[in-house]
């Protein structure tokens, strides 16, 4: 068999469709980068899925996970778009340009890409971490909201989230230097403004920090126009309580042990694509 025949085989064409096609989209002054994964079968999509990444180091750590999730969904007949917000990943801008409102607009632009492709089938958004919160905020504001949302460990308390980023930033500094400075820990405890401009290698500009700081459990998901599925660690009592308060909008809360290193700069023995998480998200995105 010749190399051309191998490349032209049905299996090879299906693989190429599932791996994804790079594309740029969005306004001229806010160009975004995405990967569009077409149904591996080559037929019409049975659903369209938009993957909304988390923030900073979390997005780096979940990049491989989202790629595998997109490829698996493609093989199950879905049209999937994963993308980078403005100022992140391969989209234009720098991390100093990050702003919450702009990222909600980026979700809307990504939604438009999915809407203009293929027959009219349901659109589902799936987000992780801060990306889940952004997706919920955007869903309440876009002209064409999704049919359903899947949110994995959403950020519902901005102040607590920022505090955890500060702590992980100092932990990363300590792990990265053979002669670390004990003043880092003192500053973390005594100065609320210390280590707020950067989170594990990523800038946290003031407008973004203020927007995250304003996130409160009573406000997250309050104006949702669609049903959601919540994925949370059984030990994450605040998220489970928040989901209970949303009432009928929540179809189900799926427990998933949080053994994933969301903010680690290095793998540190953790799985790049944890099997339990992949199976859980695949199941929820395909129903």
Hey, what domains does the chain have and what are their CATH numbers? 12-157+216-285 (3.40.50.1820)
Q: In terms of pTM, does the model score above 0.85?
A: yes
Q: What pLDDT does 260 receive?
A: 64
Instruction: Identify the weakest region by mean pLDDT among 8-12, 38-42, 136-140, 272-276.
Output: 8-12
Q: What pLDDT does 119 receive?
A: 65
Mean pLDDT of the chain: 86
* Mean per-residue pLDDT, 7-34: 78
Q: What pLDDT does 267 receive?
A: 52
Q: What pLDDT does 7 receive?
A: 46
| 81 within 8 A of 110, measured Cβ to Cβ | yes
Instruction: Identify the weakest region by mean pLDDT among 11-20, 67-76, 127-136.
Output: 11-20
Give me the residue label for tokens 């695949």. Answer: 282
Which among 71, 100, 73 is positioned nearest to 85, based on CA atoms? 100
The whole-angstrom distance between residue 228's C-alpha and the CA centroid of its chain comes to 15
State both tokens at 171.
């932990």
Considering only residues 42 and 46, tell me which one the structure prediction assigns the higher pLDDT: 46
pLDDT of 45 over the 90 cut: no
Helices marked H in the chain = 3-7, 10-19, 57-75, 100-115, 130-139, 158-176, 183-190, 206-213, 237-246, 275-285
Task: Please state, in angstroms and rounded to a whole number, the distance separating the CA atoms of residues 130 and 134.
Answer: 6
pLDDT of 197 over the 70 cut: yes
pLDDT of 171 over the 90 cut: no
């Amino acid at each position: 068999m010749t190399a051309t025949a191998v490349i032209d085989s049905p299996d090879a064409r299906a693989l190429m469709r599932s791996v994804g096609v790079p594309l740029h989209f969005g306004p001229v002054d806010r160009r975004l980068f995405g990967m569009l994964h077409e149904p591996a079968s080559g037929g019409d999509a049975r659903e369209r899925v938009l993957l909304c990444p988390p923030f900073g180091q979390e997005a780096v750590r979940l990049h491989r996970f989202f790629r595998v999730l997109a490829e698996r969904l493609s093989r199950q007949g879905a049209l999937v778009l994963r993308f980078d917000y403005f100022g992140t990943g391969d989209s234009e801008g720098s991390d100093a340009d990050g702003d919450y409102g702009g990222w909600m607009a980026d979700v809307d632009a990504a939604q438009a890409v999915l809407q203009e492709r293929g027959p009219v089938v349901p659109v589902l958004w799936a987000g992780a971490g801060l990306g889940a919160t952004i997706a919920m905020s955007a869903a309440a504001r876009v002209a064409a909201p999704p049919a359903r949302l899947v949110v994995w460990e959403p950020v519902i308390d901005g102040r607590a989230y920022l505090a955890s980023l500060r702590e992980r930033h100092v932990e990363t500094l300590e792990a990265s230097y053979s002669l670390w400075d004990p003043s880092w820990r003192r500053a973390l405890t005594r100065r609320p403004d210390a280590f707020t401009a950067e989170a594990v290698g990523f800038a946290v500009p003031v407008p973004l920090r203020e927007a995250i700081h304003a996130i409160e459990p009573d406000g997250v998901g309050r104006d949702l126009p669609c049903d959601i599925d919540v994925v949370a660690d059984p030990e994450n009592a605040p998220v489970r309580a928040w989901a209970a308060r949303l009432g009928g909008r929540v179809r189900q809360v799926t427990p998933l042990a949080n053994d994933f290193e969301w903010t680690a700069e290095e793998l540190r023995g953790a799985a790049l694509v944890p099997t339990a998480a992949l199976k859980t998200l695949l199941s929820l995105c395909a129903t």
